A and B are shown apart, each in its own frame.
Chain A
Amino acid sequence: MKHVANWALNIAAQRGASFADVRVIAHRSRALTTKNGKVGSASDAESVGMNVRAIVDGAWGFAASSELGRGAVESTSARAVEIARASARVKKQGVRLAPEEPAVAEWNSPYKIDPFTVSVEQNIDLLLKIDAELRSVAGVTLAEANLNFNREEQWLWSSEGADIHQTKLSTGAGYAAYAFAGNEIQKRSYPNSFGGQWQNKGYELVEELKLLENARRIGEEAVALHKAEQCPEGKYDIILDSSQLGLQIHESVGHPIELDRVLGMEANFAGTSFLTIDKLRNLRYGSELVNVVADARLEHGPGLGTFGFDDEGVAAQCTPIITNGLFTGYLSSRETAHSIGADRSGGTLRAEGWNRLPMIRMTNISLLPGEKALSLEQLIAATDRGILMQTNRSWSIDDKRYNFQFGCEIGWEIKGGKRVRMLKNTSYSGITTEFWNSLDAICSRDEWTLWGTPNCGKGQPQQIMGTGHGAAASRFRGVKVGSAFKSM
């Protein structure tokens, strides 16, 4: 593959680029789904291509092609240079890249079982067994299950000397049961909604999730929601389960700390951020218990934000984002690091594929678990009047990331330390910093899960990226509940 880099980097240098990097990516995926006793879809896909990112006259250009022959690679590189020259027509200051020692490295995400070696028959058999178990519950009207496997191999070279070969495997698995009756559709999902759990693991993830063992319960809960009470409206203490809290972190911490948003680069689509640079190390983001990190290192776990190097060759790092409640860090890149006085990128630049420009993306943005032993059941027992909410159903937040509203699939009213009844149509809303400052309990490490969000959208053209979010169930005091259904 190195010949591709040589062709591209030589042309970029000859045409006047002061910096260039080249990525070649080969991506393979398999998607299997079942619906109501039948295979819904079965597909394999591969995509291979290369891109060149170049700085000319202090401005960026990027070009990508699926062809890897010399002529195509050289013309793609020349095109990146030409585009950069056009960019330079509308610039004020030249691009400044934070220094980075060029890495020469090989990195692979660890796995036990290559999911592509597991037969399709075995996978479909598992999905159909789950499907049958879900639909064995009277009242389940629709059952859907999915398995997804991805393998991405990437080569990165830069004009500074970086030479990195990296391979990542990821697996996703989950299912949902729907119950339609009267004028109502209720839904339960496992182990999470919108595709289940996703991690940078092999087929061992599927085996760990106990998918079949939980299917009947999930079907029964979907049906039981029809007889549950409507979630009340008012201020309540709420306990969010680990998966819902993962999405809360994603939306109300992960996105606002993206430095490109803060600097206005995403203003037209994804939006900006309330976390202006003056708030760094000054804003009380959450209560003293809140410690959030952006950790792409393998020791954090096999999250969708785990890698060896980001897509501009910066090694994986752990950045403290919220430290004992104080806002302490952003997600940054080589281009943006100087804006916060940093002398090095935080290593968060990633692209969806070979045909997309790397941009600042969440790595694994995780709320660290509580230090004192605390199980979810103990937390419920210590709650006098509250609502436990589980599994996301809807999510929405404004374009500066202040006001949010989340709905959950199922809720449980807590009175006197006990779950007393099931609640349907649960929702809560608030303002980001007020919400995180109301946190008063976090369960400990054994309740902590590193969730995968496989579908984070950002950028123009839009890119879909996987991110990781570790969380343990936590309690928030005096949160506004139920206003989503106020008018019904």
Chain B
Amino acid sequence: MGMLTKEQAGDIFDRIRKLSTAEGVEVLFSGGHFALTRFANNVIHQNVAEENYVVSVRSVFGGKTARATTNKFDEESLRQVMRSAESLAKVQQADADLLPMPDSRETSRNAGARDTPVRHFVETAGITADFRAEGVQKIVGVAEKHNLTAAGVFSSGESVEGIFNSRGVSHWHMQTSAEISITMLGADSSGWQKSNSPDVANLDPLKLAETAARKAVDSANPLEIPAGKYTVILEPAAVLDIVGFMFWDYSGMAILDQRSFLTGRIGTKLFGENITIWDDVAHPLQTGSPFDGEGMQRQRVELVQNGTVHRVVYARATAERMRGSEYKDQVGVIEPTGHGFALPNEMGEMPLNIVFAPVNDPQTVEQMVASTERGVLVTRLWYIREVEPFEKMLTGMTRDGTFYVENGRVQGGLRNFRFNESLIHMLSHVEAMSVPIRSSGEESFDMVVPAMKVRDFNFTEVTKF
């Protein structure tokens, strides 16, 4: 089938609404087509494509709600998914915190914010397997030129997200995506680069391949230096993968559940003066839909202002609960911000379009290196997990390009470290930042983040390579 359109989805919603006996019904649509060409050992070894759409129905009866989902769109399947949602909802206990579904006036309450940029590009939607193979050929060519082995992916896709409810809400979002990730492997070293964008024209496979190859070549014959506290220069992908672990906590529900490290800390200066963080879906380097799981328009929210935790985000029901809670005078502005997950859920909401504010005196990674007497340059972090939730102590490894810096110069590759580092400590010891860029890693979602030079970063062990 071709791409599902808003009109087709609207027709399906109307059919479900007519069949429904619930006092409220909401239908989410998602799906599209996606393809990924995977290479390793300088050959394409996996090459996949899929097409799928999902319709997800939520029914409400007197404070009770539940959801059922299917990827079948025939009349009987739609009838069945509606019945499943209704029968699941009817046997729930009534939830006093469940709000009526929003109407279109309420979901647009954040209107006036900047428009979300166009995130659908016809050329990207039309990418073929041959186009991706040509890109891989270029990457492999770079690998062979440097006597390296390349592994990675070149993916592309086109997707839709939509929400309709029985109070007149109907929102639709279309987006394309393209991504290239490359690991270059040498005999005892490796280098990595990754980039993605809604517009494939923003991706340069040759440039990414050359950078990854240079890292692999420059980190050959790695030295081992002892674990300890070092000044580190974290490239943007390393920054995003580690800071991503704190954003689940910037949620009203996390405060109410007392599982957030911000409990009792909103309004306090937790990080350095140079840290200001926004959630901003309309930022030109961000991606994603401008509405949340109930259709509420996403608001631009300042989470951290000059090191002080300023606000958290709210789904509609969370904001209502917070207003009646013991924390209501401790958490700053309380209002639905358009960050809720699809209902019903236990987690409430979270910010997903993180943007670090630029500093007045940005430095390039090269400038950070030049000003470092002794330190470690990190390309990428890996297998990050939370060790302790309130100080946000995280552990993980460096990977694919870790370098020793001495007297303002990169001296060569290093064996990889394990770190155990508190995010509060880390963001309180940032000495310099680059201009924020859109970056992508593997442990957290994509963000607009700078490279950071951080003092006293805690490496606790060294591995064997």
Contacts and interface: CB of A to CB of B under 8 A. Distances in A.
A348 interface: no
Contacts of A268: 38, 40, 151-153, 181-183, 192
A48 B54 CA distance: 11
A341 B101 CA distance: 62
Nearest to A67: B1
Interface string B128-157: 111011101100100000000101110100
A282 interface: no
Contacts of A272: 185
Q: Is the interface of B mostly helix, strand, loop or mixed?
A: strand
Given A178-B258, A180-B258, A264 B40 contact: yes
B129 A42 contact: no
Interface in A248-272: 263-269, 271-272
B155 A461 contact: yes
Given A91-B44, A268-B181, A488-B393, A405 B38 contact: no
Interface in A20-41: 33, 35-36, 38-41
Interface stretch (A234-242, A368-376, A392-400): A392-400
B387 A484 contact: yes
B344 A61 contact: no
A184 B391 CA distance: 8
A486 B51 contact: no
Contacts of A431: 463-464
Nearest to A39: B92
Interface stretch (A78-86, A104-112, A288-296, A300-308): A78-86
Interface stretch (A118-126, A208-216, A414-422): A118-126
Contact of A488 (B153, B181, B182, B388): B388
Contacts of B258: 141-142, 178, 180, 185
Given A44-B88, A180-B263, A461-B155, A402 B465 contact: yes
Contacts of B67: 41-44
Contacts of B50: 51, 63-65, 355
A83 B183 contact: no
Contact of A42 (B344, B389, B390): B344
A120 B192 CA distance: 48
B416 interface: yes
B370 interface: no
B90 to A, nearest CB: 9
A153 B152 CA distance: 32
B39 interface: yes
Given A41-B344, A403-B463, A395 B385 contact: yes
Contacts, number: 286
Contact of B92 (A42, A84, A274, A407): A42
A485 B393 contact: yes
A185 B140 CA distance: 48
Given A87-B44, A393-B387, A396-B384, 9 more contacts: A35-B257, A45-B69, A47-B69, A90-B43, A265-B46, A396-B418, A398-B383, A429-B461, A488-B391
Contact of B345 (A41, A44, A121, A427): A41
Contact of B70 (A46, A67, A91, A357): A46
Contacts of B35: 83
Given A63-B49, A487-B420, A396 B383 contact: yes
Given A60-B45, A87-B44, A120-B91, A400 B465 contact: yes
A488 B51 CA distance: 49
B259 interface: yes
A277 to B, nearest CB: 14
A84 B37 CA distance: 10
Interface string B302-341: 0000000000000000000000000000000000000000
A102 interface: no
Nearest to A425: B388
A44 B39 CA distance: 36
30 contacts: A39-B344, A41-B346, A42-B67, A44-B69, A46-B70, A49-B71, A61-B47, A62-B48, A62-B49, A63-B49, A65-B52, A79-B49, A84-B47, A86-B130, A90-B42, A120-B87, A120-B88, A142-B258, A183-B391, A184-B390, A185-B389, A400-B464, A400-B465, A403-B418, A403-B463, A427-B387, A460-B155, A461-B155, A483-B461, A488-B391
Q: Is the interface of A mostly helix, strand, loop or mixed?
A: mixed
B391 A396 contact: no
Given A45-B68, A121-B91, A184-B390, A62 B43 contact: no
The 7 closest A-B pairs by CB, nearest first: A40-B346, A86-B129, A403-B463, A267-B151, A180-B258, A45-B69, A42-B66
Contacts of B229: 487
A355 to B, nearest CB: 4
B238 to A, nearest CB: 14
Contacts of B51: 64-67
Contact of B133 (A46, A89, A400): A89
A350 to B, nearest CB: 15
Interface of A: 33, 35-36, 38-49, 51, 59-67, 72, 79-80, 82-87, 89-92, 119-121, 124, 128, 141-142, 144, 178, 180, 183-185, 263-269, 271-272, 274, 355-357, 359, 393-400, 402-403, 405, 407, 425, 427, 429, 431, 460-461, 483-488
B88 A264 contact: no
Interface stretch (B168-176, B200-208, B360-368, B394-402): B394-402
Nearest to B38: A460
A403 B460 contact: no
B183 A46 contact: no
A407 B97 CA distance: 36
A49 B345 CA distance: 27
B41 A60 contact: no
B317 to A, nearest CB: 11
Contact of A486 (B38, B88, B192, B420): B420
A396 B385 contact: yes
Contacts of A394: 385-387, 395
A62 B49 CA distance: 6
A87 B39 CA distance: 9
B43 A44 contact: no
A405 B464 contact: no
Nearest to B40: A265
A484 B382 contact: no
B69 A484 contact: no
Contact of A92 (B42, B128, B389): B42
Interface string B53-77: 1100000000000111111100000
Given A66-B52, A124-B93, A484-B387, A396 B88 contact: no
B444 interface: no
B385 A44 contact: no
Interface string B425-437: 1000000000000
Contacts of A178: 257-259
B84 interface: yes
B42 to A, nearest CB: 7
Given A91-B43, A142-B259, A402-B465, A461 B88 contact: no
Given A39-B93, A90-B39, A485-B393, A49 B52 contact: yes
Contacts of A398: 382-383, 397, 399, 416, 418, 463, 465
B34 interface: yes
A90 B133 contact: yes
A183 B286 CA distance: 34
B36 interface: yes
B115 interface: no
Contacts of B123: none
A483 B387 CA distance: 11
Contact of B46 (A91, A141, A357, A483): A357
Contacts of A485: 387-388, 393, 420
B395 A66 contact: no
Contacts of A61: 47, 129
Contact of B130 (A40, A60, A89, A119): A89
B45 A265 contact: yes
B322 to A, nearest CB: 15
